[in-house]
C-alpha cells in the first residue's frame, strides 16, 4: 500500500509546490518508488520534476486518477519520480459533479497504486481537488508562512480538516502536520508566531522551520534540481530540505 502525503493550504504562494516537489525528490533519492500527483493547473511542480516547461498545456495528467484507470502509473521523468502532471484543464474537476464522497470511494484505489509513496501537490483553493488530496492522505501537511494573513488561511484549512474528520472522510489513522516556510528568524514577530504554534499544536508543528531563501529556492527551481543539489546551497540548509520526509515521520 502506498503512503499518501498531501501538501495543502488554501493560501497561495506559501510553498506547497516547492515543499511537495522536494519531498518527492528526497524520497526518490532515498531509494523509494514515488508517484508525484500535481493537482494544480499551474503545473509548477510538474515543470520542476519533469523539466518540461510546456507540460501544463497538455491534458492526460492527474485527472487520470479520478478516472480510476486500471494499471495506472505515472509518466517516468528524468529524475526518477513518476508523475501525473498538472495542467490547465484540471479546474474542470472542481466544476464537475464529483463530490467528497466520490473522492472517498477512490481512496483504496489510490493507495493500491504500485508505489511506496504518493506525494500530492494541491491548488490554492478549498475545492474538490484539495478535499480529495486530504481524504486520500495518510499524512496531511499544511504549509504556512509566519504572517497573519497566512495564518487566517490556516484556520480555514483546519476547519475543513475538522469537518472532513467529523464526517468520517479522513483515513482512520491519518496524521496532520504543520510546516512553517519562509521564516526569517531575525524577525521577532515571526519567531513569536512560530513559537506560539509550537505551543498550541505540540507534536503537529514540525520543529524545524524552513528559512526564507528566495534567490536560492528560485535558482534551484530554474536549474530543475532539488535545493540540496544546487551549487550555492549551504550544506546545512540542503540537509534540512532533504530531511523533510524524516521530519514528517514517513522515512
Ligand atoms: N523557503 C523559501 N524562501 C523563499 N522563497 C520561497 C521559499 N519556498 C518557496 N519560495 C518561493 O515562493 C514562491 C511560491 O512558492 P510555491 O509555488 O512553492 O508556493 P505554492 O503554495 O505552491 O503557490 P500556489 O498557491 O500558487 O500553488 C515561489 O517563487 C517559490 O520559489
Ligand atoms: Mg503551488
pLDDT, tens digit, 9 for 90 and up, residues 113-135: 999 999 999 999 999 999 999 99
Q: Is 210 in the pocket of ligand 1 (CB under 6 A)?
A: yes
Kindly report, residue by residue over 119-177, the tens digit of the pLDDT: 999 999 999 999 999 999 999 999 999 988 778 888 999 999 999 999 999 999 999 99
pLDDT given for residue 152 in this prediction? 83
The answer, yes or no, to whether any atom of ligand 1 lies below 6 A from the CB of 213, is: yes
Whole-angstrom distance, CA of residue 189 vs CA of residue 135: 34
Domain 3-248 -> CATH class: alpha beta
Cα 194 to averaged position of ligand 2 atoms, centre (Å): 22
Task: Please state, for a pLDDT cut of 70, what percent of the chain lies above it.
Answer: 100
Ligand 1 neighbour 16 (Cβ under 6 A): yes
**Nearest-CA residue for atom 4 of ligand 1:** 214
* 43 Cβ below 6 A of ligand 1: no
Say how many C-beta atoms besides its own lie within 10 A of residue 112's C-beta: 11
Return the closest-CA partner of residue 229 out of 45, 95, 44, 48: 48
What is the distance between the alpha carbons of residues 61 and 46, in angstroms, rounded to a whole number? 10
Residue nearest atom 6 of ligand 1, based on CA coordinates: 214
Question: Whole-model pTM?
Answer: 0.98
Mean pLDDT for the stretch of residues 44-58: 98
Q: Find out whether the beta carbon of 22 lies less than 6 Å from any atom of ligand 1.
A: no
Mutate to test the pocket of ligand 1, among 10, 15, 44, 119 (most ligand atoms within 8 A of CB): 15
- Pocket mutation for ligand 1, best pick of 6, 17, 18, 119 (most atoms within 8 Å of C-beta): 18
Contacts of 146 (CB under 8 A, 6+ apart): 180, 182, 183, 189, 190, 191, 193, 194, 209
State phi, psi for 179 to the nearest 5 degrees.
Answer: -120, 120
Reading the block at residue 72, the C-alpha cell is 495506472
Cβ of 218 below 6 Å from ligand 1: yes
For ligand 1, say whether the CB of 240 is within 6 Å of any of its atoms. Answer: no
Among the listed residues 30, 144, 131, 28, the one whose alpha carbon sits nearest the alpha carbon of residue 83: 28
Query: How far apart are the CA of 52 and the centre of ligand 2, in A?
Result: 16
Which pLDDT does position 137 carry in this prediction? 98
Domain ranges of the chain: 3-248
3-state SS string for 87-154: CHHHHHHHHCCCCHHHHHHCHHHHHCCCCCEEEEECCCCCCHHHHHHHHHCCEEEEEECCCHHHHHHH
- Look up cell 514515488; give the residue: 34
> Mind listing the pLDDT tens digit for each residue in 32-42?
999 999 999 99
- Structure confidence by residue, pLDDT tens digits, 200-226: 999 999 999 999 999 999 999 999 999
Q: In residues, how long is the chain?
A: 251
Ion ligand 2 nearby residues (CB, 5 A): 16-17, 40
Q: Is the CB of 98 under 6 A from ligand 1?
A: no
Whole-angstrom distance, CA of residue 229 vs CA of residue 249 = 23
Amino acid at each position: 500500500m502506498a503512503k499518501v502525503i498531501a501538501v495543502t493550504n488554501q493560501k497561495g504562494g506559501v510553498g506547497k509546490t516547492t515543499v511537495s516537489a522536494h519531498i518527492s525528490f528526497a524520497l526518490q533519492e532515498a531509494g523509494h518508488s514515488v508517484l508525484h500527483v500535481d493537482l494544480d493547473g499551474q503545473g509548477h511542480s510538474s515543470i520542476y520534476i519533469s523539466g518540461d516547461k510546456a507540460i501544463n498545456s497538455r491534458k492526460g495528467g492527474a485527472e487520470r486518477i479520478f478516472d480510476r484507470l486500471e494499471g495506472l502509473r505515472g509518466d517516468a521523468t528524468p529524475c526518477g519520480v513518476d508523475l501525473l502532471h498538472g495542467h490547465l484543464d484540471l479546474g474542470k474537476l472542481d466544476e464537475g459533479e464529483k463530490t467528497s464522497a466520490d473522492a472517498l470511494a477512490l481512496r483504496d484505489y489510490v493507495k493500491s497504486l504500485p508505489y511506496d509513496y504518493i506525494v500530492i501537490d494541491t491548488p490554492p483553493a478549498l475545492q474538490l481537488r484539495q478535499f480529495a488530496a486530504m481524504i486520500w492522505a495518510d499524512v496531511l501537511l499544511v504549509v504556512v508562512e509566519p504572517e497573519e494573513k497566512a495564518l487566517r488561511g490556516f484556520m480555514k484549512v483546519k476547519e475543513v480538516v475538522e469537518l472532513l474528520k467529523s464526517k468520517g472522510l479522513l483515513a482512520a489513522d491519518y496524521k496532520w502536520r504543520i510546516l512553517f516556510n519562509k521564516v526569517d528568524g531575525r524577525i521577532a514577530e515571526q519567531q513569536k508566531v512560530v513559537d506560539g504554534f509550537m505551543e498550541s499544536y505540540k507534536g503537529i508543528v514540525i520543529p524545524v522551520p524552513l528559512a526564507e531563501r528566495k534567490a536560492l529556492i528560485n535558482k534551484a527551481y530554474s536549474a530543475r534540481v532539488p535545493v540540496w543539489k544546487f551549487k550555492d546551497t549551504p550544506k546545512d540548509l540542503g540537509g534540512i530540505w532533504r530531511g523533510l520526509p524524516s521530519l514528517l515521520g514517513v522515512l
